[in-house]
Structure 1
């Protein structure tokens, strides 16, 4: 019963992800929640699984995706561009998220807590095949969402970030192919918005 109480606490905590907002907007102009992002990364994993070049532990992959942003219920969402060139922000983000996953582990108790903690740490480590796939899909989904939003919601660094996806997906041919399709969408959006795509490519 005590462990079920802990599970319910984490379920209650996860509700915050429904209103914790990301720096992404939907096609209807509403800002995206963390929960919505996580749901579509999970969908992408399910749809891309059969096209991956290596066998994948689907259960682990989906669990990893589902819990990877759970820490943001406590630590909040920090956009990638805020940590790109700021080591102090990156350090604080990691410290806050580590404290959050430790608290979540402790809430869940000894039967479940260590498993959730280990999955989160594996995602962060980006060394296993499942962790790399989860990380790659996480980054691709973010770009898909930008492509679907109004160009006016993009900030300047996000023009460049279209061309920074390779390092997250170049280990897997199917993800590289998907990235190319997503990049084509981004370039079409930029071109239609009067943005000089060739200039972006040159500086990236």
Structure 2
């Protein structure tokens, strides 16, 4: 049976996690507002449920969902830092890493054993992409981001995001069905850009030979 201290720690983390409902990401929704971290995590979780039957390898679904749900939990404390911010200022990558590691260490300490240790290990497994499940979770992370961009008004895109639309291959190469899903999402982005008068052939060529 759980102790009062353990359940109090769970309540504390749930209170912390509530921040993810208003911690905003760079992406916009189709309604024209910025999405929250919690919304991104929710659709990643749904993507895991819907794609699980089509994964080439059998995945531990409980572990996959846990990994998806906790991967951005640290942003409740560390905040969200867009990859675009890091591309503009590479020094921010180290700042991001330091903040996130401190946040996951704080979560481990707050939750105690064994729950804190499990979440700590899952977070680092996701970051390291050292297992098939972690690679799948990371692929969903990248694919959901692009899917959300595709659904947003293209006026919310920054120029670098045109290039990033064609740079997802490295995240899905380990699984043919994830590669197929990536191709569908990439084609959706391609059509969206073409309809806005973007020279996608030039972008593809630039990305291919970068």
Moved more, 78-87 or 165-174: 78-87
Partner of 1:194: 197
Gaps of 5+ in 1: none
Decide which of 128, 131, 156 is 1:125's aligned counterpart: 128
Give the superposition deviation at 1:85. Answer: 6.5
Confirm or deny that 1:24 pairs with 2:27.
Answer: yes
Tell me which of 149, 154, 163 is aligned to 1:151: 154
Matched positions, count: 204
What secondary structure, in the 3-state scheme, does the structure 2 residue paired with 1:53 have? coil
Confirm or deny that 1:42 pairs with 2:61: no
Q: Any gaps of 5 or more consecutive residues in structure 2?
A: none
Which residue number in structure 1 is paired with residue 206 of structure 2? Answer: 203
Moved more, 152-161 or 108-117: 108-117
| Structure 1 ranges of 4+ moved more than 4 A | none
- 1:58-117 CA-partner distances (Å, limit 9, x unpaired): 110000000000000011111112224644211110110000000011111113110010
Instruction: Provide the C-alpha distance between the structure 2 equivalents of 1:83 and 1:126, rounded to a whole number of angstroms.
Output: 20
TM-score of the aligned structures, taking structure 2 as reference length: 0.95
SS state of the match for residue 91, structure 2? helix
**Deviation by residue 1:152-182 (Cα, 9 ceiling, x = unmatched):** 0000000000011001111111110000000
- Map 1:81-100 → 2, pairs under 5 A: 81-84=84-87, 86-100=89-103
Q: What corresponds to 2:186 in structure 1?
A: 183
In the superposition, the TM-score normalised over structure 1's length comes to 0.98
Distance 1:3 1:187 in 2: 49
Q: CA RMSD in A?
A: 0.9
Q: Deviations over 1:6-31 (max 9, x none)?
A: 11000000000000000000001011
Aligned 1:48-87 pairs, distance under 5 A: 48-84=51-87, 86-87=89-90
Q: Corresponding residue for 1:6? A: 9
